[in-house]
Structure 1
Amino acid sequence: MKLITEIMEEKALPIVDKIYNDGFIQGLIRADLSKEAVEHYLKADALYLENFSDIYAMLLAKSNDKVEKNFFLDQINFVLNEEIAAHKNLADYVGRDYQEIIKGGEWYPSADHYIKHMYYNVFAFGMAEALSAMAPCPWIYQMVARKILANHNLAEDHPLKFWVEFYADGLVDEVLSEYHKIINREAEFMSEEGKQRLIKNFLESCEHERRFFNMAYTQENWGFEV
C-alpha cells in the first residue's frame, strides 16, 4: 500500500510539468526572464519566507518531540539565513542590491492567498495538515530544478545556474524526509476524510506554487489602491 505522501506527490506531477513549461521557468532557463518579473518575485518571496519561518515556529511550539523541535529550528535558520543565497543570485541577475529590491515587497493576490492557506491549516487542524500545505514549497522547487538539469546542460556562465543547483541539491531530500515521516505517522490515525484533506492540502499548495510563479511573470497586482 502506498504511503499518503507518495499518493500526494504522484497526483501533483502534472502540476510540476505545468510549472516547468510556464513562462517564468522557461524564461529562467533561457536567461531572458524579465527583470521586472524577477523583482516582483523577490518582493513577494522575501515576505513569504519570513512568514514560512513563523509557521515553523508555531509548529515547533506544537511539537512534544525534541528531534522535531530541532528540525523546525534548523528550517527556520535555513529559510531566514541560507535560502537568501538563491535570492541574491536573482538580484545579481537583475543587477540591483537585494535589500533594495525587497524594500518594496508586498502581499500580491496569489502570494496572499497561498500563505493564508498555510496559516489556516496551522490554526484549524494539526501538524500533518500544516505540513501537507507546506511541503510543496521545497518539493516543487526541487522537482523543477532537477527537471531543468535533466533537460538542459546549463553553461558555466549561465546567470541563474546557481539558483537551479541550489534547489536541486540533495539537502531538500533530508527536509522532505522529515516532512514525510511526520505526515505519514499522523495519517495512520486519521479517517479517510482526514487523509483526503492532506492530499487536497498538498495539491492546493502545488497549484499555489504555480500561481506564485505566474504572479511574478505577469507582475500581478491588486486592482485597487488604498
Structure 2
Amino acid sequence: MFTEELKKEVEPIIESIYNDPFIQGIIKGDLKKDAVCHYLKADSLYLNEFAKIYSLLIPKLNDREGIKFLLEQIDFVMNGEIDAHYTLANYAGVDYKSLIKEGEWYPSSDHYIKHMYYNAYRYSDASFTICAMAPCPYVYQQLALKIRARNDLTNNPLKPWVEFYCVNMDELIGHLDRWVNAFSQTASDDELEILRKNFVESCIHEKRFFNMSYNIETWEEY
C-alpha cells in the first residue's frame, strides 16, 4: 500500500526524533521546563489551526462517514488532546490556561502550519492535505510506542503523555491511510510524488517543532 511505503521511508526521520533532546528528556523524565512551556505555547496555537484545516477538508469529501469522522476529530483536537498538554503543564508546574494566553508562532511552527494550509487551498482532493497532516499523529504514535517499548517509565512524571499517544491514534491513522490509499490507486506519478513529498516534509517539520521547543527558538530581531 502507498501509505506503507511512505511510513517505511520516514522511519529514519522518526528514529532521529527519538534520539533528539526533547524526546530524550521525556524518556528520562528530566525535560527542561522552559522547553515544555515553549512547546505548549506553540502547540496550543498549532492545534487550533490543525482543527481549522480539518474543517477545510469537509467540502472535499462526499461520504457521510468521512465527514462525521472529521467533525469528531475536530472535537478531539480541541478537547481531547488537551489531556496530553495538561500532563506537560503539571510537570512544568505552570497553569496551562494562563500559559497558552501567551502563545506565539515561532519560525518552525509557522512554516509547518503554512505547509498544511498551502495544500488545503492548492489542491481539490483531500489526499494532498492529508499527507501533510497525517505525519503529526503518526510521528507522535510511533515515538510513544518506541518510548514505551524501550524504556521503563515507572515513576516517570511524563508517562501519561507517552500513554496518551500510544492508545489514541490508531483509528485516526487508519482513516487517513484509507483515504490516501484510495486516491493513490488512480493518481498520476506526479501526484504521487507530491503526496510523498508532503508526507516526508511534514515529518521533518515535526522534528524541527520538537527542536524549536527544546532550543527555545524565537524570531530573530533585526
Query: TM range, normalised to the smaller chain?
Result: over 0.9
Task: Report how far residue 90 of structure 1 moved.
Answer: 0.2
Q: 1:7 aligns with which of 5, 8, 21?
A: 5
2-side partners of 1:197 and 1:129: how far apart? 7
Cα drift, residue 61 of structure 1: 2.5
Contact 1:15–1:207 (CA<8 Å) still a contact in 2? yes
- Gapped regions of structure 2 (runs ≥ 5): none
Equivalent residue, structure 1, for 2:190 = 193
What TM-score comes out, normalization by structure 2 length?
A: 0.98
The residue that corresponds to 1:29 in the other structure is 27
Q: How far does the alpha carbon of each residue in 1:161-212 deviate from its partner, in whole angstroms, 9 at most, with x for none? A: 000000011x311111100110011111111111111111000000000000
1:145 aligned partner, one-letter code: A
For the pair 1:127 / 2:149, whether they are aligned, the reply is no
Which letter does structure 2 place at the counterpart of 1:224?
E
Mapped to 2, the partners of 1:50 and 1:76 lie a distance apart of 9
Q: Show the counterpart of 1:148.
A: 147
Give matches, 1:87-166, under 5 Å.
Answer: 87-125=85-123, 126-155=125-154, 157-166=155-164
Which stretches in structure 1 are left out of the alignment for 5+ residues? none
From 53, 56, 80, the equivalent of 2:54 is 56
- In angstroms, what is the RMSD of aligned CA positions? 0.8
- Given that residues 122 and 129 in structure 1 are in contact (C-alpha distance below 8 angstroms), is that contact kept between their aligned partners in structure 2? yes
What is the SS of the residue equivalent to 2:156?
coil
8 Å CA contact retained: 1:39, 1:101: yes
CA shift at 1:121, angstroms? 0.5
Runs of 4+ in 1 over 6 A off after TM superposition: none
Q: Measure, in 1, the Cα distance between the counterparts of 2:203 and 2:77.
A: 19
The structure 2 residue matched to 1:212, chosen from 176, 184, 209, is 209
CA distance in 2, matches of 1:96, 1:124: 40
Contact 1:37 1:219 in 2 (8 A): yes
1:127-157 per-residue CA deviation (whole Å, 9 max, x = no partner) reads 01000000000000000000000100101x3
Partner SS state of residue 177, structure 1:
helix
1:223 aligns with 2:220: yes
Query: TM-score, with normalisation over the residues of structure 1?
Result: 0.96
In the aligned structure 1, how far is the partner of 2:159 from the partner of 2:65?
A: 34
Match for 1:163: what amino acid?
W
Q: How many pairs does the alignment contain? A: 221
The question of whether the paired residues in 2 share the 8 Å contact of 1:7 and 1:199 is answered with no
Distance in 2, Cα, partners of 1:199 & 1:153: 35
Q: C-alpha displacement at 1:62, in angstroms?
A: 2.2
